[in-house]
Amino acid sequence: MAGEKKALVFKGIAASPGIAGGPVYQLEARELKLPTHRLSPEKVPEEIAAFQRALEETGRQLEAIKQRVAREIGEDKAAIFGAHQLVLQDPALVDEVEKRIRQGTNGAQAIAAVASELAEMLAQLEDEYLRERAGDIRDVGERILRNFLGVAEASLAHLQEPVVVFARDLTPSETAQLRPDRVLAFATIAGGRTSHVAIMARSLEIPAVVGLGEKVAAALPGAREAIIDGTRGEVILNPTPADWAEYRERKERYQEYNRRLVSLGELPAQTPDGHRVELYANIASPADLPGVEKVNAEGIGLFRTEFLYMDRNSLPTEEEQFQAYREVVERLAPRPVIIRTLDIGGDKDLPYLNLTREVNPFLGWRALRYCLDRPDVFKVQLAAILRASAYGTIRLMFPMIISVEEVRRARAVLAEVKEELDRRGEAYDDRMPVGVMIETPGAALTADILAREVDFFSIGTNDLIQYSLAVDRGNERVSHLFETFHPGVLRLIKGVVDAGHGAGIPVYMCGEMAGEVLATPLLLGFGLDELSMSPSSLPRVKQVIRSLSWRDARQMANHALGLNTAGEIKAYMERCLGNLKLD
Active site residues: 196, 510
Residue among 344, 308, 348 nearest 326 (CA): 308
Least distance in Å: CB of 460 to ligand PEP?
3
Give per-residue burial for 5-28: e unless 16+ CB within 10 Å, then b. Answer: eebbebebbbbbbbbbbbebbbbe
- Which of 173, 271, 296, 462 is close enough to bind ligand PEP by CB under 6 A? 462
- Which of 139, 142, 439, 472 is close enough to bind ligand PEP by CB under 6 A? 439
Least distance in Å: CB of 278 to ligand PEP?
16
Least distance in Å: CB of 439 to Mg ion?
5
Contact 187, 175 (CB under 8 A): no
304 sits near ligand PEP (criterion: CB under 6 A)? yes
472 sits near Mg ion (criterion: CB under 5 A)? no
CB nearer to ligand PEP: give 109 or 282.
Answer: 282
CB nearer to ligand PEP: give 105 or 458.
Answer: 458
Q: Is 473 strand, coil or helix?
A: coil
What x/- string results for residues 431 through 460 when contact with Mg ion is judged by CB under 5 A?
--------x--------------------x
CB nearer to ligand PEP: give 136 or 463.
Answer: 463
Q: Is 347 strand, coil or helix?
A: coil
CB nearer to ligand PEP: give 393 or 484.
Answer: 484
288 sits near ligand PEP (criterion: CB under 6 A)? no
Least distance in Å: CB of 473 to ligand PEP?
8
- Interaction partner, residue 227 (ligand PEP, Mg ion, none; CB < 5-8 Å by kind): none
Residues 24-43 that bind ligand PEP (CB under 6 A): none
- Which of 106, 321, 393, 461 is close enough to bind ligand PEP by CB under 6 A? 461
Least distance in Å: CB of 560 to Mg ion?
24
Least distance in Å: CB of 289 to Mg ion?
22
Binding span for ligand PEP by CB under 6 A among 4-12, 44-52, 265-273, 459-467? 459-467
DSSP 165-230: EEES---HHHHHT--TTTEEEEEESS--TTSHHHHHHHHHT--EEE---HHHHHHGGG-SEEEEET
Number of residues that bind ligand PEP (CB under 6 A): 11
Calpha distance 481→476 (Å, rounded): 10
463 sits near Mg ion (criterion: CB under 5 A)? yes
393 sits near ligand PEP (criterion: CB under 6 A)? no
Q: Which sign, positive or negative, has the C-alpha torsion 131, 132, 137, 139?
A: positive
CB nearer to ligand PEP: give 201 or 510.
Answer: 510
User: Mutual orientation of helices 487-502 and 566-580 as an angle, nearest 10°?
Assistant: 70
If phi over 0 gives left and psi between -120 and 50 gives alpha, with beta otherwise, what is residue 405?
Answer: alpha
CB nearer to ligand PEP: give 389 or 534.
Answer: 534
Beta-bridge partner residues of 300: 281, 337
Q: How many CA atoms lie within 13 A of 482 on its CB side?
A: 24
Calpha distance 426→124 (Å, rounded): 34
Name every residue whose Cβ is closer than 8 Å to that of residue 54 and which is 6 or more positions away in sequence. Answer: 107, 111, 144, 145, 147, 148
Contact 527, 474 (CB under 8 A): no
Calpha distance 269→546 (Å, rounded): 6
Q: Burial, 231: exposed, middle or buried (Cβ in 10 Å; 0-12, 13-18, 19+)?
A: middle
- Which of 108, 454, 510, 523 is close enough to bind ligand PEP by CB under 6 A? 510
Least distance in Å: CB of 444 to Mg ion?
13
Calpha distance 142→248 (Å, rounded): 41
- Interaction partner, residue 472 (Mg ion, ligand PEP, none; CB < 5-8 Å by kind): none
Residue ranges in contact with ligand PEP by CB under 6 A: 199, 302, 304, 343, 439, 460-463, 510-511
Residue ranges in contact with Mg ion by CB under 5 A: 439, 460, 463
